[in-house]
Amino acid sequence: MDLLPPKPARVAAAASNVAHKLLYGGLADLRPMPRTLIEDGELREVYHYRPAATAVETGDPILLVTPLAAPAICFDLRRGCSLVEHFVTAGRRTYLVEYGEVSFKNRNLGMEHWVDEVLPEAIRAVSEHAGGRPVHLIGWSPGGIFSLLTAADQPELPIASITVVGSPIDVKKVPLMAPVRPLLNIDFMGGGLVTRGYRALGGAPKPLVSWAFQLSSVQKLVTKPLAVATHLDDTEFPGAARGGRPVLGEHDRLPGPCVRAALPPDGEGQRAGEGVDELR
């Protein structure tokens, strides 16, 4: 950290940024990329992003596969920091599948719903909308697992390639679940305490999921104000910090079977890939 007195130019820039934030709510351009709904079903909404006016469309379509319990804006954080914007301005046909509001009535849905129905239907819809072309899948976190298992289960689908980003193939190594694992062996009235808890709640409720994600990034939440304060004169830095903020607190609930998949007992279902042979 620079302990020397700031230069007048930096003070003026910082004052301008603070005033802009107070008047307009932030420096980041949070406008989402325009999109159109092309197909929907149970916990399935497939969107096509509007092509850029100055770009020439090229290549096969791209389908962004969102993870469970996370908002679709993870692929479209802000202008200048958006995977969607990058593809659209490069002339690629870009699509996204998200799942809408997961409610208590969906408490019995497991990963097979996304592997058997949601993603296959989304892939077919995108391929048809793009003129029968094969589809490139980009799946983040559980979205990557859905993509791999779907391709293994239904090899006839028009899939051009699969890109997996940060997917917990070995769920026992996910730091987010580490604090809960010691509780799995606690017996409560003839059953596991954690198991009875998520079954009674129909999964992991939305507030609990948001709290868990915030806890996993507590260091960033604590240090963020100081980092922003020391970069008030930098237009891009406060903008980037504001651009990532909406993701926290916008997570959705997890159905019970999906919670179980993320918290397998020792020796049971430790790797997501172990289910591929069963699916085939």
- On whether residue 80 sits in a domain, the answer given is yes
Residue 8: pLDDT band (50, 70, 90) is confident
Which has more pLDDT, 99 or 278? 99
Cβ neighbours, 10 Å, residue 272: 22
Between 193 and 249, the more confident residue is 193
User: Which phi-psi region, left, alpha or beta, contains residue 104 (left: φ > 0; alpha: ψ -120 to 50)?
Assistant: alpha
Q: Tell me which of 39-43, 101-105, 158-162 is least confident.
A: 101-105
We report the CATH number of the domain holding residue 55 as: 3.40.50
Q: Write down the pLDDT at residue 111.
A: 82
Predicted pLDDT of residue 187: 58
**Looking at this protein, which amino acid is placed at residue 231?**
H
Stretch 209-220: mean pLDDT, rounded?
A: 54
68 located within any domain: yes
Print the domain residue range for 157. 17-279
The verdict on residue 227 lying in a domain is yes
Give the mean pLDDT of the chain.
75
State yes or no: pLDDT of 36 exceeds 60.
yes
Q: How many CA atoms lie within 13 A of 5 on its CB side?
A: 2
Structural domain contains residue 9: no
- Residues 65, 138: contact at Cβ < 8 Å? yes
User: For the whole model, what pTM was predicted?
Assistant: 0.73
Mean pLDDT value across residues 13-24: 63
Q: Is residue 255 part of a domain?
A: yes
Calculate what percentage of the chain has a pLDDT beyond 90: 35
What pLDDT does residue 230 have? 72
In three-state secondary structure terms, 97 is strand
10 in any annotated domain: no
pLDDT of 208 strictly over 70: no
CA dihedral 67, 70, 73, 74 (to 10 degrees): -60
Retrieve residue 7's tokens: 């230069």
Across the range 210-222, mean pLDDT stands at 55
- pLDDT single digits (tens) 139-196: 998 899 999 999 999 999 999 999 999 888 877 776 666 666 665 565 555 555 555 5
For the chain, the maximum distance between any two Cα atoms, rounded to a whole number of angstroms, is 69
Residue 12 covered by a domain: no
Lowest-confidence pick of 13-17, 149-153, 207-211: 207-211
Task: Please indicate, yes or no, if residue 5 is contained in any of the structural domains.
Answer: no
Best mean pLDDT range from 108-112, 125-129, 237-241:
125-129
Specify the number of domains making up the chain: 1
Per-residue pLDDT at 28: 77
pLDDT of residue 168: 83
| pLDDT level of residue 110 (50, 70, 90 thresholds) | confident
Written as one letter, the residue type at 162 is I
